């Protein structure tokens, strides 16, 4: 059993007792159902293990905690960048609501059959209007989770809503259904009338009806790849359902909560009479955007596991996905298969949003044992990026008419770029990946940018670089910077003014802060623009004062190794950060013996500065 979380941030928004109730009711059962000793009894698993939900990425306890953690991390990042700016009061509501959606969004994975997978999103909405939620609703109400009950009670007292407050809480939780991009496309999130209709459709129809309607739509969308008999059988099954009383079953369930479902249910989504309610609805919908994006950006890489706790990793020989299937404590079976999404997920080091609101991807490996395996890894990565970018970028899309009605934010009228970090073992991986992505979707060409790798950079230096200011200097200022650096002896004549300053950033190191630690990976070259740095070398050598304008840390970058000194700020100092790849490509120029002799000759003649 997984221990109850000790994430104090999450505990602030969802009481630990409520977390425990939800996890025991749903996610712990998902994990248990998909343990190896259980799935080997499932004929569907034995028929095709790779197609079974047991080998899907995790949808259990760890997954929902990860998404809850991620929404708390992402919301401050996207506030004012990808969504209109909110004050802290509104953000607190959105954080709590996002955590609740995170905890409920995948409970439909309890049903491990293909039917359950196809209707797992709709199950969330149906479950919100079942007695199973009674204890959950009461606890949310009693604890005033996220101030949500208080907000709703105020709307009720103002007569802005047409349902009892606790029923509106059920409606809010049922919106976890919207995490599914296939069931609820972004066009519905952008149109509250259509979203209300979709929620009505979902709640009025049984899961069986929804399943067959989905299946028929899917079959009709691929007319060249299906057998006519399969479509005819699906339509016959659906027609048979329409003659039963299944829809009436849903009507009876909803009658316990509504006197007039059509007019009361989700009325608040489309009501435009109350400014406070309109603001509330905007917060709800942007929280839904957030949960969709967080779900797409879930943890992968070396932490990637299935719901049955089987590790998934990528084979460097074949680029296939490998599943480590555990049976008890003393048996382990390694199952390999050509599952492009899973293999790419296992190779994905990180997917994140930059402070500028762009989507960044980094992969562990770019080089595999054979050319064919490398090409497979590239194609798999392109497939995964295509899925994630569609979820995230489309998730924050607003049509012009809707954007015009919202407040200002950084990306209101700007594109979200896709940043591909290079892989150090194969510098051709990301250029080839970019080409593959554009071939599959030409519209992505102006959005994809290749950027230096930050994968091995120590966390402190990486965070400093991410938050630093990108330099945007004119030609004359760049020339002056290079002149100052050249005065220290660095060869600057061949440094291009265009590419040489790509991804170079500027930041201020405060007194007492450590710039680099001896023994850390050398991922940047630093250039101090003034005095204030002290160096503490390894090997027992004396401390030294760092002179301005001399590239610092270049030796570790050039030799591709660790740093040999710790650098500390004794005073505040501005520093340029040059990523390793940019330095090696544009800044790393050495003198030939003849050039060096001429420099020394000029120095001795006094034509080169002695300072």
**Predicted local distance difference test score (pLDDT) of residue 302:** 82
338, 369, 491 from 382: Cα distances, Å: 15, 19, 39
pLDDT in tens, 320-358: 999 999 887 888 999 998 999 999 999 999 999 999 999
**Predicted local distance difference test score (pLDDT) of residue 245:** 53
**441 burial via Cβ count (<10 Å: 0-12, 13-18, 19+):** middle
pLDDT in tens, 266-304: 999 999 999 999 999 999 999 999 999 999 999 998 888
Alpha helices in 304-410 (DSSP H): 340-347, 371-395, 400-403
Instruction: Say how many residues make up the chain.
Output: 611
DSSP string for 220-265: HH-TTSS-HHHHHHHHHHHHHHHTSSHHHHHHHHHHTT-SSHHHHT
Residue with tokens 């007039």: 260
- Structure tokens of 389? 């970018």
pLDDT in tens, 138-190: 999 999 999 999 999 999 999 999 999 999 999 999 999 999 999 999 999 99
Distance of alpha carbon 339 from alpha carbon 128, whole angstroms: 34
Q: How confident is the model at residue 224 (pLDDT cuts 50, 70, 90)?
A: low
Helix or strand (DSSP H, E) at 508: strand 505-509
pLDDT in tens, 481-538: 999 999 999 999 999 998 999 999 999 999 999 999 999 999 999 999 999 999 999 8
Distance of alpha carbon 585 from alpha carbon 608, whole angstroms: 27
**34 burial via Cβ count (<10 Å: 0-12, 13-18, 19+):** buried
Pairing of strands 448-451, 418-421: parallel
Helix, strand, or coil (residue 515): strand
Distance of alpha carbon 424 from alpha carbon 450, whole angstroms: 13
* Candidate from 2-11, 77-86, 329-338, 352-361 with smallest mean pLDDT: 2-11
Residue with tokens 């691929």: 222
Residue with tokens 């090696």: 584
Distance of alpha carbon 514 from alpha carbon 18, whole angstroms: 42
Pairing of strands 505-509, 331-337: unpaired
- Structure tokens of 229? 């008999």
Distance of alpha carbon 370 from alpha carbon 446, whole angstroms: 31
**Predicted local distance difference test score (pLDDT) of residue 567:** 96
Cα-flanking dihedrals φ and ψ of residue 205, to 5°?
A: -105, 145
- Structure tokens of 396? 């924050």
Q: How confident is the model at residue 558 (pLDDT cuts 50, 70, 90)?
A: very high
Contact at 8 Å (CB) between 522 and 580? yes
Contact at 8 Å (CB) between 351 and 419? no
Give the residue among 478, 496, 517, 503 at the shortest CA–CA distance from 579. 503
Contact at 8 Å (CB) between 438 and 377? no
* Candidate from 51-65, 125-139, 231-245 with smallest mean pLDDT: 231-245
Q: Does residue 1 carry a pLDDT above 60? A: no
Edge-to-edge strands, sheet with 544-546: 514-516, 565-569, 533-537, 544-546
Average pLDDT over every residue of 234-256:
76
Which neighbouring-strand residues pair with 426? 423
Q: Is the dihedral of CA 142, 13, 101, 263 positive or negative?
A: positive
Q: Look at domain 462-605 and name its CATH class.
A: mainly beta
Q: Does residue 255 carry a pLDDT above 50? A: yes
**Predicted local distance difference test score (pLDDT) of residue 611:** 47
Contact at 8 Å (CB) between 342 and 55? yes
pLDDT, greater one: 7 or 529 = 529
Instruction: Give me the chain's average pLDDT, please.
Output: 92
Residues contacting 558, CB < 8 A, separation 6+ = 584, 588
Phi-psi category of 522—alpha, beta or left, where left has phi over 0 and alpha has psi -120 to 50?
beta
Distance of alpha carbon 551 from alpha carbon 528, whole angstroms: 8
DSSP string for 533-591: EEEEESTTPPPEEEPTTS-BSHHHHHHTSB-SEEEEESS-EEEEEEEHHHIIIII----
**Predicted local distance difference test score (pLDDT) of residue 226:** 58
In the chain, % of residues over pLDDT 70: 96
Q: Does residue 233 carry a pLDDT above 80? A: no
Q: Does residue 223 carry a pLDDT above 80? A: no
Helix, strand, or coil (residue 288): helix
Average pLDDT over every residue of 542-565:
93
Average pLDDT over every residue of 564-574:
95
Q: Is the dihedral of CA 190, 191, 195, 196 positive or negative?
A: positive
Q: Does residue 403 carry a pLDDT above 90? A: no
**Predicted local distance difference test score (pLDDT) of residue 2:** 46
Average pLDDT over every residue of 125-133:
96
Average pLDDT over every residue of 552-559:
94
Q: How confident is the model at residue 4 (pLDDT cuts 50, 70, 90)?
A: very low
Which neighbouring-strand residues pair with 536? 566
* Candidate from 401-415, 453-467, 532-546 with smallest mean pLDDT: 401-415
Provide the 8-state DSSP code for 306: B
**In the chain, which segments carry CATH 2.60.120.10?**
462-605
């Amino acid at each position: 059993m997984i221990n109850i979380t000790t994430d104090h941030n999450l505990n602030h928004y969802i009481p630990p007792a409520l977390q425990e109730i939800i996890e025991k009711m749903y996610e712990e059962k998902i994990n248990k159902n998909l343990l190896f000793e259980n799935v080997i009894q499932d004929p569907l698993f034995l028929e095709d293990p790779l197609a079974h939900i047991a080998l899907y990425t995790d949808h259990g306890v760890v997954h929902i905690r990860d998404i809850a953690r991620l929404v708390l991390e992402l919301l401050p990042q996207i506030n004012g960048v990808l969504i209109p700016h909110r004050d802290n009061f509104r953000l607190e509501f959105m954080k709590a609501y996002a955590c609740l959606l995170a905890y409920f969004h995948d409970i439909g994975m309890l049903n491990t059959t293909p039917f359950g997978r196809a209707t797992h999103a709709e199950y969330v909405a149906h479950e919100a209007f079942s007695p199973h939620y009674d204890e959950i609703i009461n606890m949310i109400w009693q604890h005033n989770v996220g101030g949500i009950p208080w907000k709703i009670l105020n709307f009720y007292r103002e007569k802005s809503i047409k349902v009892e407050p606790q029923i509106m809480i059920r409606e809010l939780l049922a919106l976890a259904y919207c995490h599914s991009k296939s069931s609820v496309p972004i066009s519905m999130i952008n149109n509250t009338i259509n979203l209300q209709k979709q929620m009505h459709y979902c709640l009025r129809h049984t899961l069986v009806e929804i399943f067959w309607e989905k299946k028929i739509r899917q079959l009709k969308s691929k007319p060249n790849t299906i057998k006519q008999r399969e479509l005819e059988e699906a339509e016959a099954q659906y027609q048979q359902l329409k003659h039963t009383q299944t829809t009436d079953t849903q009507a009876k369930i909803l009658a316990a909560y509504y006197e007039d479902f059509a007019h009361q249910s989700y009325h608040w989504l489309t009501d435009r009479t109350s400014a406070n309610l309109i603001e509330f609805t905007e917060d709800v919908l942007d929280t839904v955007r957030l949960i969709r994006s967080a779900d797409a950006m879930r943890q992968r890489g070396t932490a990637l596991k299935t719901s049955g706790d089987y590790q998934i990793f990528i084979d460097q020989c074949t680029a296939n996905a490998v599943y480590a299937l555990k049976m008890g404590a003393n048996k382990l079976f390694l199952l390999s298969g050509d599952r492009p999404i899973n293999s790419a997920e296992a190779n994905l080091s990180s997917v994140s949003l930059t402070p500028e609101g762009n989507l960044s991807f980094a992969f562990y490996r770019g080089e595999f044992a054979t050319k064919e395996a490398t090409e497979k890894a590239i194609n798999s990565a392109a497939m995964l990026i295509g899925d994630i970018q569609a979820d995230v970028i489309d998730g924050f899309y607003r049509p012009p008419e809707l954007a015009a009605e919202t407040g200002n934010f950084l990306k209101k009228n700007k594109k979200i770029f896709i940043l591909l970090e290079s892989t150090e073992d194969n510098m051709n991986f990301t250029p080839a990946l970019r080409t593959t992505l554009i071939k599959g979707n030409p519209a992505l060409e102006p959005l994809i940018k290749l950027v230096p790798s930050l994968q091995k950079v120590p966390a402190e230096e990486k965070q400093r670089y991410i938050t630093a200011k990108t330099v945007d200097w004119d030609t004359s200022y760049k020339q002056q910077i290079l002149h100052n650096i050249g005065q220290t002896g660095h060869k600057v004549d061949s440094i291009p003014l265009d590419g040489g300053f790509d991804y170079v950033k500027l930041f201020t190191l405060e007194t007492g802060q450590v710039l680099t630690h001896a023994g850390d990976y050398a991922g940047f070259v630093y250039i101090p623009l003034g005095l204030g740095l002290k160096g503490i070398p390894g090997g027992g050598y004396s401390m030294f004062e760092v002179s301005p304008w001399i590239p610092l840390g270049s030796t570790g970058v050039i030799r591709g190794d660790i740093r040999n000194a710790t650098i500390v700020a004794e005073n505040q100092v501005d520093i340029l950060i040059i990523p390793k790849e940019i330095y090696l490509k544009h800044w790393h120029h050495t003198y030939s013996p003849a050039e060096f002799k001429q420099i020394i000759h000029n120095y001795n003649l006094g034509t080169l500065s002695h300072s």
